[in-house]
Structure 1
């Protein structure tokens, strides 16, 4: 039982000989029981900085010691601390042992973060949490070797303050990992502030990142930048490779000096946030090609985590499929249970250029058009471009389609046909058609204009 508690415990006899210690002490101090048991208490813990030796106090007085903080170097050589207290154990009115309990601060922080992260997991993911996130690392779906390793590394990285660079292809879930790291970190009480660097015009980027003051330029107002909004939290820079080199230089200076100025202001403010950045291209190749400053790369990539593509972790497809079916069952009040094995075979043979996001879209498409009475998605509900894989299993055919760019054309043609059929079935009732398709009315109007669809007389 003592091995299961969350505190470090070690036991000495009245002669100060260590007779037992639990696995938390082993883990936090980097020692082995067989090396410690039998040693004197003062010999085993030479590096403790204590005002009063709690164990010796209890041996001398037979009384419980007061709780005190002990400063020491941990197994990695870093200065840390623990709260320590000793208790006497009597048998037949004689002091037999002294139990010393240690609350390791680093270990306790990890436990509190895990509890906080788990509490956040129970929140409805459709509702933003108080820190502007929807996901924790518990929401990462996948039990493949690569995903288990990624989550484990993410948890370790979360406990430091170092900048993190995420590298993963489009649709692999970089923001989910970034939010998960934020919620597992010491910054989780602060806000998670995200920006897609590719979606902001170059002339607005500096203002959005660092803020502005009234009169700095035409129409300028006093407005905080994202670095200010993320104070004591996390700033997530997605598609870092889209930042112009001029902005990269200013960002580097801010990260080095840990201070920034709003545009038009001579007064600076401190930077007190963790920076997580992401790119969908190999960052080292971006440096070689001159698209990413080398000095900025070294500043942001103190910790680099690579997110595997779906093609690299196809073992996770069944679990992902179940996850998305459960998600859309809840959203659309459906009762779908599983998919045909034939579909899973197609999924395993497909290359998934859009990664997990594409798989999610495929499942959402299928649940919109299923009419199966047995709660099972069938081959007939697959999008056309995936059915083609079943008709032609030659891998080079798929490669030809991708290289010629016809996959995009196939997808657009298929989407157009689905829209035409749905609008015809609803007699061009746009609101009903949007509900049948599971999209917003405005999104359907956009697609009608995009494809130039017209109601037939």
Structure 2
């Protein structure tokens, strides 16, 4: 008997569903760990207390558990939203039923599934959709950035899928929104979803929607494909999707139809898909994180966003923009950076890109009092004490290269054409000497692999690369 009781208690505590049981007086007698996790509560604050003493429900929407033990009501409620004892809003899908013995109600059981995270994600998607960025919000004037902006502007003229490649923090979503807001779809929804933020089971229901009865607690809900009808759906970190979901996405792109989970009919959708990746697609394909056929289908238009370390001319205007932003938020009057900070910013390699720059400035302005310039003493401690990186590009062991020494160019080209041909000649030379290994060549040129690929396309260099 003792063993049976131990097994019973272990089973209850390790279930992946919330279990809440009350006795015939409405007091909690069983409250498992999953339920405590869902409701962000400590079990000692709930056990042996009445439901109404712990939780708050909207007027006219009382506790389904209380209704079960008082009235014998069984419910499969699609959704129940209430507040815990700290005022935090909880949303669950419940199956609640009374427990009877000899015709008398001796208690009630509630089995709950947490959908709070799903509700918050949907709210976040709606709030993100209300933000509108255009190309005017892209700060900087470097040649590398302007080339990316010009390429993105051309993509506004069509409805083809777009693949945006860039390191984390380079501003890929701003480019995506800019393409949408200057296209013929601007009046329709723009919906963004981070594919890395959620498990497959949840992301699939969010993207494709659900039909009632698809699983316990499922209701008729349109997915993001349907919600973005006529507009644009941004899939951030596409390479985080499982092969199964990548296959379903490929079907959407090919057939322009989706089927809800649990559904039996296909629904036509008219959307433009923009996807982003923070790694080289060649690497993702090689390591089976990206389907090759999906890459070819999505990459009709491929846009590379250069990292901040390769466009350091943009650091000053970006710093000015972020300083003005936090002056408004913090009621400060900071006018700029000291020369020492300017030098430090130019020497830093910015692995977090524009996002890191913003965070550094925000952190500095949190500790400023009456000063008008951001000084090194205001910078976050890890940043201030980070060693100055060595930006000297790797040198081929076979031969040292001087980019200023190039073969003569016929005729008398203008400066722009001369520089274009010189760059093309030098890049080809490095590629040839490294047997067209793009990773090695990028290291010697002091570029990221993504940036080198972008330059190869711009320079018209076509060769099978490894």
TM above 0.5? yes
Distance in 2 between residues matched to 1:396 and 1:308, nearest whole Å: 17
Q: State how far apart, in whole Å, the 1-side matches of 2:168 and 2:253 are.
A: 26
User: Does the residue aligned with 1:237 lie in a helix, a strand or coil?
Assistant: strand
Distance 1:204 1:387 in 2: 41
Closer, same or farther in 2 for the Cα pair 1:130/1:361, shift >3 Å?
A: closer
| Structure 2 counterpart of 1:376, from 373, 377, 386 | 373
Matched, 1:264 2:259: no
Does structure 2 retain, via aligned residues, the 8 Å contact 1:165–1:302? yes
Contact 2:348 2:389 in 1 (8 A): no
* DSSP 3-state at the match of 1:171: coil
Match in the other structure for 2:322:
324
Show the counterpart of 2:205: 207
How far, CA to CA, are the matches of 2:234 and 2:320 in structure 1? 29
Which residue of the partner structure matches residue 390 of structure 2? Answer: 395
Task: For 1:130-149, list aligned pairs within 5 A.
Answer: 132-149=130-147
- Tell me, yes or no, if the aligned pair for 1:137 and 1:180 is still in contact at 8 Å: yes
CA deviation profile, 1:306-363 (whole Å, cap 9, x unmatched): 0010101111000000000011111112111111010010011111111100000000
Matches within 5 A, 1:6-405: 132-373=130-371, 375-389=372-386, 392-393=387-388, 395=390
Deviation at 1:257, TM superposition (A): 0.5
Kindly tell me: are residues 396 and 295 of structure 1, through their superposed partners in 2, closer, same or farther at Cα, counting changes over 3 Å? closer
Contact in 1 for aligned 2:349/2:389 (Cα 8 Å): no
- Return closer, same or farther for 1:372/1:340 CA change in 2, 3 Å cut-off: farther
CA positional deviation for 1:282 = 0.5
Whole-angstrom CA distance in 1 between matches of 2:344 and 2:166 = 24
Q: Normalized against structure 1, the TM-score is what?
A: 0.57
Q: Deviations over 1:52-93 (max 9, x none)?
A: xxxxxxxxxxxxxxxxxxxxxxxxxxxxxxxxxxxxxxxxxx
Q: Tell me, what secondary structure is at the counterpart of 2:130?
A: coil
CA shift digits 1:397-443 (9 cap, x unpaired): 9xxxxxxxxxxxxxxxxxxxxxxxxxxxxxxxxxxxxxxxxxxxxxx
Contact 2:258-2:267 within 8 A present in 1 as well: yes
SS in 2 for 1:262: coil
Q: Distance in 2 between matches of 1:228 and 1:236?
A: 13
1:395 counterpart SS class: coil
The CA deviation string for residues 359-409 of structure 1, in whole angstroms up to 9 with x for no partner, is: 000000011101244x111121011223224xx546399xxxxxxxxxxxx
Tell me, in whole angstroms, the C-alpha distance in 1 between the residues paired with 2:298 and 2:373: 46
CA–CA distance in structure 1, aligned partners of residues 346 and 187 of structure 2: 40
1:47 paired residue number: none
Q: Match of 2:356, SS?
A: helix
With over 3 angstroms needed to count, the CA separation of the structure-2 counterparts of 1:299 and 1:351, relative to structure 1, is same
- Contact 1:132–1:193 under 8 Å retained in 2: no
The Cα RMSD (Å) is: 2.0
Q: Distance in 2 between matches of 1:177 and 1:341?
A: 31
SS in 1 for 2:289: coil
Q: Which whole-Å CA distance do the structure 1 matches of 2:291 and 2:283 have between them?
A: 11
Distance, in Å, in 2 between the alignment partners of 1:330 and 1:350 is 27
Unaligned runs of 5+ in 2: 1-125, 393-466
Residue 131 of structure 1: how far off its partner (Å): 5.5
How far is the alpha carbon of 1:130 from its aligned partner?
Answer: 10
Could you say if the C-alpha distance between residues 358 and 394 of structure 1 is closer, same or farther in structure 2, counting changes exceeding 3 Å? closer
The answer to whether the 8 Å contact 1:169/1:309 transfers is: yes
Q: Compared with structure 1, are the counterparts of its residues 394 and 239 closer, same or farther at alpha carbon in structure 2 (3 Å cutoff)? A: closer
> SS where residue 305 of structure 1 aligns?
strand
Structure 1 unaligned spans of 5+: 1-127, 398-457
